[in-house]
Amino acid sequence: MMEPGLPICNICGDTVGLGANGEPFVACHECSFPICQSCLFEELGEGRAVCLRCGSPYQTGLENPKTDDVEVSKSESGSTLASHFQSQPDIGLHARNPSNYSATENDENAESGNPVWKNRVESWKDKKSKKKKTRAKVEKEAQVPPEQQMEEKQPAQLAQPLSKIIPIPPNKLTPYRTVIIMRLIILGLFFHYRITNPVDSAFGLWLTSVICEIWFAVSWVLDQFPKWYPINRETYLDSLSSRYERENGESDLAAIDFFVSTVDPLKEPPLITGNTVLSILAVDYPVEKVSCYVSDDGAAMLTFESLAETAEFARKWVPFCKKYLIEPRAPEFYFSQKVDYLKDKVQPSFVKERRQIKRDYEEYKVRINALVAKAQKTPDEGWVMQDGTPWPGNITRDHPGMIQVFLGHNGALDVDGNELPRLVYVSREKRPGYQHHKKAGAMNALIRVSAVLTNAPYILNLDCDHYINNSQAPREAMCFMMDPEVGRDVCYIQFPQRFDGIDRSDRYANRNVVFFDVNMRGLDGIQGPVYVGTGCVFFRQALYGYSPSSLPMPQKKSSSSFSCCWGSKKKPAKEPSEIYKDSKQNDLNAAIFNLREIDNYDENDRSLLISQMSLEKTFGLSTVFIESTLMEGGGVPESANPSMLIKEAIHVISCGYEEKTTWGKEIGWIYGSVTEDILTGFKMHCRGWRSIYCMPLRPAFKGSAPINLSDRLHQVLRWALGSVEIFLSRHCPLWYGFGGGRLKKLQRLAYINTIVYPFTSLPLIAYCCLPAICLLTGKFIIPTLSNIASVWFLGLFMSIILTSVLELRWSGVSIEDLWRNEQFWVIGGVSAHLFAVFQGFLKMLAGVDTNFTVTAKAADDTDFGELYIFKWTTLLIPPTTLLVINMVGVVAGFSDALNGGYEAWGPLFGKVFFSFWVILHLYPFLKGLMGRQNRTPTIVVLWSLLLASIFSLVWVKVDPFVSSSTTPTVEKGCNPVDC
């Protein structure tokens, strides 16, 4: 029974008790940190002789019954990291106000045998819960006979796996691999024939075609061989629940911080963002383990006010979802389902509550739409908040950092009186003269804010238009992350992207089914799928630049043999211990170290690791954030002051915080490309991490995609431009990451393919022009076919078809999806990819930075109304030109055949075949130009006529591919008619 009036021990929760003088026991006379005698003796017994709060040595004068030989002296005790910062006035105002719960030791503690910072930081956090569990376990075991205890421990030892790899059946995979090898052999024989049989009469056309075909073959190899080991995975949610959740409601599942990013609320509607946030707050996961952070990188008061309305509606929506287990838990998409909503619902109150919540949602939509209408015109004096103060973000490029906690504090309960997940609004500081790095910079700001406020060990990031379609998606990810065998070296779990609002035929391949269901499953069998920017669960420590714990230390290569040429003696081989030390030192210099092998460092390395300068250069000037990075299990101190944490969170999102640090270079989302997702995942794989592809039966996340032609091409342009930027940067997979040997060869091929595919646009445009040129000139790129040549051509086409068929067989992708993907590969290649290549080189050579427009997420009220919207853009010019010249070429070819007689129809077949190949691939583009009901815009007609006229006139005038020797000559003195 606790004695009244005595302080509570911050470790075990009991009263501190009385000392020998009858007064309350005090262990630390510097800060009076409350700790009882038993906990103090345990601290001393484990070698921790300094106060957890202030770092001062314990001076109790008591004798430790467990460790009589422990000596506590001023010289042996080390100061904390906070005291390091406090002793240096030059660091700045923020550093002079350090955290009052810092528990990081410096190199002086290494001599005394005390544990290093990891154990120090985690001890005070885990001590209390550990002691409570130990006491409960002892009391329970005291009441249960030993025979029954053995029976209870046995099932725990034989725990069911949380996930399982399901390989592709050999009867599907073996023929697939065999055809790939056969196709590679046929390609070699095909190119041998093509190179050894030039077309002398059209040498320029022949050489161009051979160069293009070689590039296509290399692209095929880069795309095909990373799919050599496709696998499927299966998760066991029941095993996860039985292992980490108990019947009394307590849960040991890891906490997750959800990130939602948005920029412009007029282009990314607040109603869509609100639905994404509501689906997160209602997720099937322990409430205390969920925190949602919304990044408003446009500092718009519309986003702020709509988020306040969303938080209010969440008090009704969340309990309704959890009570009736509805799916999906985004109200807009739940109420728009054309299904029987009474299916599997047996509660008689469901219909009544559903009608009520639907009315509440309609009212919520009215309020949101009213805010949007109000925001259409900005007042001259700027926006003013409800309390009369000006909105801090009136100047979007010059405003302070803003943080608002809507849910998760005291009183944030739903209508049933239950706790709600934490919801936080974040808008980072922006000032003129600073580089803010667009989305990647906003995501890094969210990492630091969440680390200070909640510090969950896992992060799930979503775009504002991607809602949670499967409420158990976080549990699916935890089946991998929390598996002791699987999750040790996993940096992220990537889910496939699925989309709503796309027409049934998927005219422009918006679903990307071939990429998500074929390529990504192939990568899962190597080192893991690439990161695609949304629907991904990260291990926070991997974002901090740490290497996986299971990674073996790389062996140092021997010295070069060039030393013999200069007469120097060969250096003796190093001892294994020295090689191990060198590899550790390299990790230290790069601020990439292994948390679980800290004890393997020697005294000097340990000192370097925890030194103030190293941590500041890596993570920035924030003691609270630095301490959070050292806690692998996550969490924040229980004694932390919320107001102090908010001030610290404001500091870490200041625009100058990342200066002279490794943010965006080695840790966090990596800068240098508009496709920061590919670059970030590539850096993690280079450090030795692997990723996992999770495809639950019910899609985990769903989003909206631009479905009209112009917006789709601009989206593809952005992706291609990012790939070109990576190709021209120091992170190019062609040369980056070879030193450690941690990136697998097939994985490197996959990353090379992701950055070189835009360059395929150059040979693709040339190859699409060749059929029209051949028809207009009467020449062809292939000589007269022999029997052997016909076999190679036929074998090549058959192998292409067989590869596609077998790929469809093991992946389950439909032939229509494969054909749409092939069509848009040509459409995007001759338009968006081409512009991306030129813009990428302009940015590198001339320093011209390309700004891209955020794709509109909203659609018209009519079904697929946006599909027929025509928006003119320069991206449409190259495909339109290709269509015109191929159509002109077909007409010219048939005209020549009619005039040339029977013998001219044979060669015409091959030329017309290639022209029709181009036209068929560009057919969806042609339908996009036509708009709704085949009404072609006037500007398209004008462009077509203009291009066709110019091309025809220039061709008649120049005619460059027709030799002058082919012109019929007239003998002197001869009548042309008689001749």
Is pLDDT above 50 for 539?
Answer: yes
Q: Does 927 count as an annotated binding residue?
A: no
Alpha helices in 197-252, H assignment, sequence order = 203-224, 237-244
Per-residue model confidence as pLDDT tens digits over 2-12: 445 567 776 66
Backbone dihedral angles phi then psi of residue 88, each to the nearest 5 degrees: -115, 105
Structure tokens at 845: 């050579």
Point out the catalytic residue in the list 296, 677, 711, 817: 677
Query: Which residue do the tokens 């598996």 mark?
Result: 483
Is pLDDT above 70 for 419?
Answer: yes
Q: Does 267 count as an annotated binding residue?
A: yes
297 is annotated as an active-site residue: yes
Handedness of CA 14, 19, 24, 27 (dihedral sign): negative
- Residue 945's Cβ-side half-sphere holds a number of Cα atoms within 13 Å equal to 5
- Report the side by side order of strands in the sheet with 701-704: 467-468, 701-704, 498-500
Q: What is the DSSP letter of 18?
A: B
860 is annotated as an active-site residue: no
Residue 962 is predicted with a pLDDT of 46
Determine the distance from the C-alpha atom of residue 973 to the mean position of all C-alpha atoms in its chain, rounded to a whole number: 80
Q: Does 895 count as an annotated binding residue?
A: no
- In whole angstroms, give the CA distance from residue 678 to residue 593: 23
Residue 77 is predicted with a pLDDT of 32
Between 857 and 166, where is the model more confident? Answer: 166
Contact 884, 753 (CB under 8 A): no
Determine the distance from the C-alpha atom of residue 756 to the mean position of all C-alpha atoms in its chain, rounded to a whole number: 20
Residue 153 is predicted with a pLDDT of 40
Contact 292, 260 (CB under 8 A): yes
- In whole angstroms, give the CA distance from residue 543 to residue 669: 7
Structure tokens at 866: 């946006």
Point out the catalytic residue in the list 296, 297, 465, 587: 297
In the chain, the largest separation of any two C-alpha atoms, in whole Å, equals 139
Provide CB contacts within 8 A for 84, sequence distance 6+: 106, 612
CB atoms within 10 A of CB 856: 17
Q: What is the DSSP letter of 245?
A: B
- Residue 538's Cβ-side half-sphere holds a number of Cα atoms within 13 Å equal to 30
Q: Does 261 count as an annotated binding residue?
A: yes
Tabulate helix, strand, coil % of the chain (nearest 5).
50, 10, 40
Which of these ranges, 131-135, 161-165, 341-345, 710-714, has the smallest mean pLDDT?
Answer: 131-135
DSSP-based three-state secondary structure for 623: helix
Which of these ranges, 41-45, 103-107, 628-632, 676-680, has the smallest mean pLDDT?
Answer: 103-107
Residue 938 is predicted with a pLDDT of 59
Structure tokens at 931: 């708009």
Per-residue model confidence as pLDDT tens digits over 57-66: 776 555 444 4
Per-residue model confidence as pLDDT tens digits over 100-121: 223 333 333 333 333 333 443 4
Which of these ranges, 349-353, 828-832, 844-848, has the smallest mean pLDDT?
Answer: 844-848
pTM of the model: 0.76
Between 178 and 110, where is the model more confident? Answer: 178
Mean pLDDT of 1-24: 66
Structure tokens at 470: 């499967």
Residue 175 is predicted with a pLDDT of 93
Mean pLDDT of 347-372: 92
Confidence of residue 322 (pLDDT cuts 50, 70, 90): very high
Rg (CA), the chain: 34
Mean pLDDT of 452-467: 93
Backbone dihedral angles phi then psi of residue 467, each to the nearest 5 degrees: -95, 165
Q: Does 617 count as an annotated binding residue?
A: no
- In whole angstroms, give the CA distance from residue 130 to residue 123: 10
Per-residue model confidence as pLDDT tens digits over 569-615: 444 555 555 544 454 444 444 433 444 444 555 555 555 555 556 77
DSSP-based three-state secondary structure for 230: coil
Q: Tell me what the pLDDT averaged over the chain comes to.
A: 77
Inter-CA distances, 551 with 115, 282, 597, 742, Å: 23, 37, 11, 9
Tell me whether the omega of the peptide bond preceding residue 328 falls within 30 degrees of 0, making it cis: yes
Confidence of residue 626 (pLDDT cuts 50, 70, 90): confident
Structure tokens at 102: 């810092």
Per-residue model confidence as pLDDT tens digits over 721-750: 999 999 998 899 998 888 777 889 999 999
Residue 73 is predicted with a pLDDT of 33
- In whole angstroms, give the CA distance from residue 814 to residue 817: 5
- In whole angstroms, give the CA distance from residue 5 to residue 759: 75
- In whole angstroms, give the CA distance from residue 100 to residue 52: 10
- In whole angstroms, give the CA distance from residue 922 to residue 206: 24
Residue 364 is predicted with a pLDDT of 95
